[in-house]
Amino acid sequence: MNKISKTFIIGLLPMALLACGNSNKKANSEAADSNALGAEKEIQVEIPAFDADSAYHYIDKQVSFGPRVPNTKAHQACADYLTSQLEAFGAVVFRQDFDAIAYDGTILKSSNIIGAYNPESKRRIALFAHWDTRPWADNDPNPKNHHNPVLGANDGGSGVGVLLEVARQINIKQPALGIDIILFDAEDYGSPTFYKGVQREDHWCLGSQYWSRVPHVPNYTARFGILLDMVGGKDATFYQEGYSLYFAKKLTKKVWNKAHQLGYNKYFIDQEGGTIVDDHLFVNKITNIKTIDIIPYFPNNEQSSFGDVWHTVNDDMEHISKETLKAVGQTVLAVIYEEK
């Protein structure tokens, strides 16, 4: 497997768009997203300190339910937990229950869970993560584990854990814009590697596809969106993902610059990674909300370009790093509190 195609694997599909997609469309996307973000200025605002212990605790709590695979009791219990936690943090909570149809026709009882702050404001930022976990550890080095579920401390749990801590901070002190914390379901039910049928990118990200077509409030829009996926791995390196650069280059640069300003250069790498089929792709394609993905890329990892434990039975709390959670969480807080 070569370097480029490795880049494309995610709980998501091999894609072959990187080389052709970017060059001639860059100018358009750049021009388009410069308006949405407004002028770049240094604004003095007090930014809350992100508490990584707290985010870690919210991940641990999700993991304590077991794998959060749709149509299981653990999944239902976790949905209730996330709903009540967002309510406890003062959000107006929307629970969007829907039937998703999986690649093999299975009906997945799914729920997108949305916590809205300052819902009357027209100026909004959307923060996304997926909260479901993968039913199959189909990238485990031991093939015997391929039919066992992933615990999903990092893949699922980490993005949600960071956003719950962001919610807790917003409840203490509101930023200038309205914030929506949007937790997608059924991201990781894409056809397993052992599936013999056709693999399609829209087998993945069923919750974000649904929400993008049927948002939780009619005509919903936001100034921009940030998706967090697998943001808790040890020594994670976040390269600038290809679709993020394609759809929202200015926002990508702004977030990476902010991370560097805060001293997180070790995590936020000022280089382009590959394109990844993830929830942000469907948000970008279906809605007008320019959305980036903060997702790790390990260019030299033989096991997976998403890291050693990706889609294995070892995606557990032992492999979660508070330092990585802090780097991502503090960067997101700075971006949303500095937005006017």
Positions that interact with Zn ion (CB under 5 A)? 11, 134, 155, 188
Shortest spacing between CB 187 and Zn ion, in angstroms: 7
DSSP assignment of 21-64: HSGGGHHHHHHHHHHHH--------PPPPP-HHHHHHHHHHHHH
Residue 32: CB minimum distance to Zn ion, A: 30
Contact 269, 194 (CB under 8 A): no
CB of 339 to Zn ion, least distance (A): 29
CB atoms closer than 10 angstroms to residue 235: 12
- Residue in the shown chain whose Cβ atom is closest to Zn ion: 11
Q: Are 335 and 259 in contact (CB under 8 A)?
A: no
CB of 105 to Zn ion, least distance (A): 21
3-state secondary structure (DSSP) of residue 107: strand
Give me the least distance between CB of 186 and Zn ion, in Å please. 11
Type of residue numbered 13: L
Which residue is it, tokens 């967002």? 86
CB closer to Zn ion, 50 vs 238: 238
Nearer to Zn ion, 11 or 157 (CB): 11
- Residue 146 has φ and ψ, to the nearest 5°, of -60, -25
> Which of 134, 290 has the CB closer to Zn ion?
134
241 or 339: CB nearest Zn ion: 241
Query: Looking at beta carbons only, is 54 or 304 nearer to Zn ion?
Result: 304
User: What is the CB-side half-sphere exposure of residue 198 using CA atoms within 13 A?
Assistant: 3
